């Protein structure tokens, strides 16, 4: 399973206008890990993800996916291994219909028509978008586009799933559905999100980016309990770890239910 390893060494990225978006970022993610990349706006999260399958070229440093060093020559292999869901689904959808968009990758892999049909149906059902299969992607709502964009990546059966803010724009039901899908994905998962409750629920490990640097990298609960670190990086605890908004007492991690005392004091039960 060494092909599922992602290794980033001393990655630096300077955009053409001189913005230093990443400074010396290093980490190693191994097979089956589910890793959340978090940080304030502009911390460098999207820039980092865009390097993982070669959409951006490092100013310096290097990336290895399994045994393959990422370079122009290895891009086709890398992109077969690393499936990337972009932050903006419009960057991912370009065909006349949803079906064509989701079928594009499998056809390129040389799959037979019947197998492509089956694969497309499976992944569209997985993201709850099979009813949209004949629609032009540009007519879909934001959340629908996001689900189809995710389907275009799943249809390629990637070994490593990389997603930039996957729940952005999704309604609560679709968010839950996507979380289940991420949880069930057997291989490596790496995603950025401002949805820290989702990160808490799905990731055993978190990498915190701050002003282009890896500020912390460790077990999720340890990171979310480090109030000094969160304040330095302009982050907050997930809502489910914050005190009850009514009486201030703690809630269990992972629970969105206010404490029983707040029911009594707010008159919810009267």
Ligand X SMILES: Nc1ncnc2c1ncn2[C@@H]1O[C@H](COP(=O)(O)OP(=O)(O)OP(=O)(O)O)[C@@H](O)[C@H]1O
The footprint of ligand X (CB under 6 A) covers 15, 17, 19, 21, 39, 41-47
Q: Is the CB of 46 or the CB of 155 nearer to ligand X?
A: 46
Of 4 and 45, the one with the shorter C-beta distance to ligand X is 45
Instruction: Please tell me the distance from the alpha carbon of residue 74 to that of residue 152, in angstroms, as a whole number.
Output: 22
Backbone torsion region of residue 157, taken as left when φ is above 0, otherwise alpha when ψ lies between -120 and 50, otherwise beta: left
Sheet containing strand 82-85, strands side by side: 82-85, 160-164, 188-192, 34-38, 205-210, 213-219
Q: How many CB atoms lie within 10 A of CB 173?
A: 10
Distance from chain centroid for Cα 184: 14
Are residues 19 and 185 in contact, defined by beta-carbon separation less than 8 angstroms?
A: no
* 82/132 with CB nearer ligand X: 82
**Distance of closest approach, residue 157 Cβ to ligand X, in angstroms:** 27
DSSP for 216-253, written as a single string = EEEEHHHHHT-HHHHHHTT----GGGSPPTTT-----T
Q: Which helix (H) or strand (E) holds 25?
A: strand 20-29
Minimum gap (Å) between residue 31 Cβ and ligand X: 25
Please identify, using beta-carbon distances, which residue of 23 and 205 lies nearer to ligand X.
23
Structural tokens at position 189 = 């998962």
Contacts of 1 by beta carbon, 8 Å cutoff, 6+ apart:
31, 32
**Shortest distance in whole angstroms from residue 38 CB to ligand X:** 9
> 45 or 146: whose CB is closer to ligand X?
45
Q: Measured from the CB atom, is 21 or 93 closer to ligand X?
A: 21
In the complex, minimum distance from the CB of residue 45 to ligand X, in angstroms, rounded to a whole number: 4
CB of 259 to ligand X, least distance (A): 31
Q: How far is the CB of 196 from ligand X (least distance, A)?
A: 12
For residues 150 and 172, the answer to whether their CB atoms sit within 8 Å is: no
């Amino acid at each position: 399973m060494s092909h599922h390893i992602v290794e980033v060494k001393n990655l630096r990225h300077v955009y053409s206008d001189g913005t230093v978006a990443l400074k010396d970022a290093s980490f190693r993610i191994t097979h089956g890990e589910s890793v959340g990349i978090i940080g304030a706006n502009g911390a460098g999260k999207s820039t980092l993800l865009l390097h993982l399958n070669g959409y951006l070229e490092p100013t310096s440093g290097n990336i290895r996916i399994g045994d393959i060093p990422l370079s122009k020559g290895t891009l086709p292999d890398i992109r077969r291994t690393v499936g990337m869901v972009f932050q903006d689904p419009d960057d991912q959808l370009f065909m006349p219909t949803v079906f064509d968009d989701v079928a594009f990758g499998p056809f390129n892999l040389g799959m037979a028509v019947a197998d492509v049909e089956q694969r497309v149906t499976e992944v569209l059902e997985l993201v709850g978008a099979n009813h949209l299969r004949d629609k032009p992607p540009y007519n879909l709502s934001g959340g629908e586009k996001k689900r189809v964009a995710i389907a275009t990546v799943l249809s390629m059966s990637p070994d490593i799933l990389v997603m930039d803010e996957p729940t952005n724009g999704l309604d609560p039901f679709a968010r839950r559905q996507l979380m289940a899908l991420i949880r069930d994905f057997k291989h490596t998962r790496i995603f950025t999100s401002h949805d820290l409750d989702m990160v808490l629920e799905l990731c055993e490990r978190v990498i915190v980016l701050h002003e282009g640097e890896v500020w912390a990298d460790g077990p999720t609960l340890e990171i979310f309990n480090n109030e000094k670190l969160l304040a330095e990086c302009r982050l907050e605890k997930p809502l489910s770890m914050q005190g009850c908004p009514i009486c201030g007492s703690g809630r269990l991690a992972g629970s969105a239910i206010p404490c029983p005392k707040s029911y009594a004091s707010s008159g919810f039960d009267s």
